[in-house]
Amino acid sequence: MTERIQSYVREPAKRIFAAELRDARHSFRVGEDEKSPTYVLLPTGERSNRIFIVGSLTQKEKVGEQHSMYRVRVADPTGTFFVTAGSYQPEAMQQVAKVEPPAFVAVVGKPNAYETPDGKVLISVRAETVTVVDRDIRDLWVLDSAEATLDRIDSFGESPDAEMAQKEYNPNLESYKKMVYDALVAIRP
């Protein structure tokens, strides 16, 4: 019974800056069945199945006719997230349809890794929910994301995924500290 209940519990969404997600390129599945969760390994040593981002929706494009979807760009102080919302996420798709750029939005979604024809791995976010917010919410998210990132950096050696992150990325954790600093400076009044 406990296993069945745990399989329905959603994992908490991690707060992550665009610059760190852009550096991520390793994904893996835990479990053998088709419903097993897929994770993206963050360079700061933590796995993520869901993320929570806030930024300015700067561009929106509707793609396809029969199975249409939206591709949007959401910018935070460190870079840009590439977000999709399609027919498998009807709520998110309807929410995106109503937003006119530029607008601050909060997005909860799943990071997806895909390989380009030239061998690069890119990470996009498949939206589960998209909500219009204001600048104050965006600034609070930057503060929370800065704290979460610094916590991941501080506990890097103790993280169960740190060894895998070290092997995959050999991350320069100081560059992520600078990313946090730059993000905080960007929202300073």
Question: Is 64 domain-assigned?
Answer: yes
Residues ≥6 apart with Cβ < 8 Å to 39: 27, 28, 29, 30, 47, 48, 49
* pLDDT in 10s for each residue of the chain, 189 residues: 444 444 456 789 999 999 999 999 999 998 888 888 899 999 999 999 999 999 999 999 999 877 789 999 999 999 999 999 998 899 999 999 999 999 999 999 999 998 899 988 899 999 999 999 999 999 999 999 999 999 999 999 898 999 999 999 999 999 999 999 999 999 997
Inside any domain, residue 6: no
Q: Is 7 a member of any domain? A: no
- Is the residue at 5 inside a domain? no
In a domain, 109, yes or no: yes
Inside any domain, residue 36: yes
Asked whether the beta carbons of 128 and 97 are under 8 A apart, the reply is: no
The whole domain housing 26 covers: 13-187
Q: Are 28 and 39 spatial neighbours (Cβ–Cβ below 8 Å)?
A: yes
Domains in the chain: how many in total? 1
The CATH number linked to 94 is 2.40.50.140
